[in-house]
Structure 1
Amino acid sequence: MIRFENVGLRYGMGPEVLRDISFYIPHGSFQFLTGPSGAGKTTLLRLMFLALKPTRGLINIFGHDTALLKRHDMPKLRQRIGIVFQDFRLLDHMTTYENVSLPLRVRGREEATYRAEVEELLQWVGLGERMDVLPPVLSGGEKQRVAIARALIDQPEILLADEPTGNVDPVLARRLLRLFIELNRSGTAVVIATHDVNLMEQIDARRMILNDGRLELYD
């Protein structure tokens, strides 16, 4: 689904922050992206989501060479990728329910066809009683769960999650991990960026370890 070959990235004339990154994400796979703070995990996810362009190397997503993509083609590819940002990126004027259902509305679905799905997912992540609340009223952990639900609601082909359990307690972190596992069993490839060792030890999955701009893979 995603393939990197000798990818490098630098900002301006500075040194490369990512160097010779090569890996592939198979259909239906599950992996953790880990490494120390500042190693470049978020930057690597942004490259995978087409939010950044590499300064060298090849990135192929869903069979498309991203260097040859036209600007109007990128939204179509991004629609096939679910992403949970570390800073949530919720719309403050929309309720929890409206934030989560937004991807479905953008695709033109009628509310009657998805309301039950949204309500069920919000119940599962523990926000069933917070559906009509605006983001400024939510705690950090609640905002995190809204962001996760929004990324999952459209059943993406691949899910990229940047520290998705960083603002929740260990019990809820395990529950969210089970949700990611169930999503993966349904066919979605999952990449979770995290430094939480306890979380990674709960499932046998490939670890992609980023350190000093280079990537090592451990199956």
Structure 2
Amino acid sequence: MIRFENVGLRYGMGPEVLSDLTFEIAPQSFQFLTGPSGAGKTSLLRLLFMSLKPTRGLINLFGRDTSRIAPAELPKLRRRIGIVFQDFRLLDHLTTYENVALPYRVQGWDEANYRADVIDLLKWVGLGDRTHVYPPILSGGEKQRAAIARALITKPEVLLADEPTGNVDPPLARRLLRLFLEMNRLGTAVVVATHDIALMDLVDSRRMVLVDGRMEIYE
């Protein structure tokens, strides 16, 4: 599904923040992306989401060389990827329900075809009583859960999560991890970026470890 070959990334004329990355992410796989702060985890997720281009090397996504994808094609491809950002990126003028339903609205779906799914997912992440609340009223943990629900609502082929449990307590972190594992069981390839060792120890899964911009993989 995703293949990196000797990928490097630098910002401007600075040193490389990612160097010689060669790995694959298989369909329906589950993996953690970890490493110390500043190791390049967020930059790698941005490469996977195609919001950054590598400065060298090849990225193949869904059978396509990303360097040959026209800008007009990117939105359609990105819809096959769900992403949870560290800063949530909820829209303050939309309710929790409307934020989670946004991917469907952008695609022009009739609300009758997705309303029940949105409400069910909000209940699952513990926001069933916050559907009509606006983001400025939500706590940090509630915003995190809303962002996760929005990323999952369209059942993407790939889910990228950047520190998705960083603003929640351990019991909720485990519940969210179970949600990611269930999505994986249903066919979504999942990449969870985290530095939470206790969380990773709950799952016997692949670990992709970034240190100083280089990667080691532990199966």
TM-score greater than 0.5 by the shorter chain = yes
Stretch of structure 1 that moved more, 106-115 or 195-204: 106-115
Find the counterpart in structure 1 of residue 140 from structure 2.
140
Q: TM-score normalised to the size of structure 2?
A: 0.99
- Work out whether 1:70 is the aligned partner of 2:98: no
Matches within 5 A, 1:168-207: 168-207=168-207
1-structure distance, mates of 2:73, 2:95: 30
Encode CA deviations 1:54-95: one digit per residue, 9 max, x unaligned: 000000000000111111011111000000000000000000
Find the counterpart in structure 2 of residue 2 from structure 1.
2
% identity of equivalent residues: 74
- Work out whether 1:125 is the aligned partner of 2:130: no
Offset, 1:173 = 0.3
1-structure distance, mates of 2:25, 2:101: 27
2-structure distance, mates of 1:186, 1:149: 16
Encode CA deviations 1:155-209: one digit per residue, 9 max, x unaligned: 0000000000000000000000000000000000000000000110111110000
Q: Secondary structure at the match of 1:112?
A: helix
Q: Secondary structure at the match of 1:20?
A: strand
1-structure distance, mates of 2:123, 2:11: 42
Q: Secondary structure at the match of 2:46?
A: helix
2-structure distance, mates of 1:103, 1:55: 30
Find the counterpart in structure 2 of residue 24 from structure 1.
24
Aligned residues: 219
Find the counterpart in structure 2 of residue 50 from structure 1.
50
Structure 1 unmatched runs, 5+: none
1-structure distance, mates of 2:109, 2:216: 42
Q: TM-score normalised to the size of structure 1?
A: 0.99
Q: Secondary structure at the match of 1:180?
A: helix
Runs of 4+ in 1 over 2 A off after TM superposition: none
The Cα RMSD (Å) is 0.5
Encode CA deviations 1:84-125: one digit per residue, 9 max, x unaligned: 000000000000000000001111211111111000000000
Find the counterpart in structure 2 of residue 162 from structure 1.
162
Find the counterpart in structure 2 of residue 12 from structure 1.
12
Find the counterpart in structure 1 of residue 114 from structure 2.
114
- Work out whether 1:214 is the aligned partner of 2:214: yes
Q: Secondary structure at the match of 1:181?
A: helix
Q: Secondary structure at the match of 2:129?
A: helix
2-structure distance, mates of 1:174, 1:76: 32
Q: Secondary structure at the match of 1:159?
A: strand
Structure 2 unmatched runs, 5+: none
Offset, 1:14 = 1.1
